[in-house]
Amino acid sequence: MGVSTRQIIERYGTFFAGVLLFIYLTIFADNFASVPNLLNILKQVSFLAILSIGFTFALITSELDLSFAHVCSFSGVIIGMLISDGVSWQLAALVGIAIGTVAGLINGLLVTYLKVPSLIATLGTSSVANGLAFMITGGVAFVGRWDPNFLFLARGKVGVVPLLVILMLIVVVLALVFSTQSKTGVHLQATGENEEAARRSGINTKRCKILGLTLSGVAAGVTGVLLVSNLSSAAPQMGGDFLLLGIAAALLGMTMFTPAKPNIFGSFVGALIIVMLSNGLVLLGAQYYVQDILLGIIIIASVAVSASVLKQAAFSL
């Protein structure tokens, strides 16, 4: 029953590396550990963590969602357009989340009923969402006067803690409980681990795959709302940069806690490490391209180390 040193490294190695990175940046990067900077990091993590958690649900069912970043942008521009047209921000936000949900649902239906591999299906959805976002905006962001209550979502604070961080933590806890403590969460896992075994055990594996991809869409919609609130503008490419970051966070997450398996807490910590690294590099005065290089290395190394599920999802064409 004992846990070997190797198992400890496999489960917690990346996490400890993150802790070491934190210590290193605290010592060598000016102002890294200051309260305003740490709160800023947490705020930046919020968007990435929610997106990567959504992506993780798709990954748990052994499917890929490459559309979440552009769906997030599309959802954002619809919110911007509706609010600009005088629709209440609450309704606009609900429509934004609904758009993400429908996009995820379409991905799920394409994968399960039309048998389009998720790599291809979500790439197609991504392109459609991107095109629609540019069509609606004409390439120009929606800006203007925004309801202060809407802006409070991403900019407000409860005491000293940004509301955004609280919302992110709620998402993390709910996703964690759902994925590890609920019957449906375990069915998602079983579907991803051995679809045939899950099906023979009476699990509706098609429904599980649709749910996994839909949850990724929901997360994209929610992040769209929060991004527009934070930026007080809605640009057609505002979520684009999150694609690689979100994938990297989830893959980094697969190298810890439950090695080689997508897991919600791992994705959250992965997002934290990536944003911390990005923030630290800026404070250390590194060139802008260094982050891209490191991100590429993180993605390749993570897949090489543990992401067999991703390989299966990507190459079972």
Residues that bind other proteins (CB under 8 A): 1, 177, 181-183, 186-187, 189-190, 193-194, 196-198, 200-203, 260-261
- In the bound state with other proteins, the residue whose beta carbon lies nearer, of 112 and 189, is 189
Q: How far is the CB of 314 from other proteins (least distance, A)?
A: 18
Q: What is the dihedral of CA 164, 169, 171, 175, to 10 degrees?
A: 160
Write the CB contacts of 137 (distance below 8 Å, at least 6 apart in sequence): 77, 80, 81, 234, 235, 236
Cβ distance to other proteins smaller for residue 39 or 193: 193
By C-beta, is 130 or 189 nearer to other proteins?
Answer: 189
Residue 68 has which token pair?
Answer: 């979440």
Cα–Cα distance, 251 to 221 (Å, whole number) = 22
> At closest approach, how far in Å is the CB of 192 from other proteins?
9
Residue 201 CB, nearest approach to other proteins (Å): 3
Which is closer to other proteins, CB of 157 or CB of 200? 200
Partners of 158 in beta bridges: 161
Nearer to other proteins, 12 or 193 (CB): 193
Distance between CA atoms of residues 308 and 6, nearest Å:
19
Kindly state the smallest distance separating residue 203's Cβ from other proteins, in Å.
5
Q: Which residue, 133 or 313, is less far from other proteins as judged by CB?
A: 313
Q: Nearest distance from residue 196's CB to other proteins, in Å?
A: 6
In angstroms, give the least distance from the CB of 198 to other proteins: 7
Residue 43 or 187 having the CB closest to other proteins = 187
Q: Residue 209 Cβ, how far from other proteins at the closest point, in Å? A: 15
Q: Which DSSP string corresponds to 32-82?
A: TTSHHHHHHHHHHHHHHHHHHHHHHHHHHTT-----HHHHHHHHHHHHHHH
d(Cα 178, Cα 116) in Å, to the nearest integer? 27
The closest of 239, 307, 274, 282 to 49, measured between CA atoms, is 274
Tell me which residue has tokens 């649709």: 210
Residue with smaller CB distance to other proteins, 1 or 35: 1
* Least distance CB 49 / other proteins (angstroms): 23
> Which distant-in-sequence residues (6+ apart) come within 8 Å of 108 by Cβ?
209, 210, 211, 212, 213, 214
| 284-239-295 Cα angle (round to 5) | 40
Q: How far is CA 92 from CA 42, 51, 81, 150, in A?
A: 26, 20, 9, 10
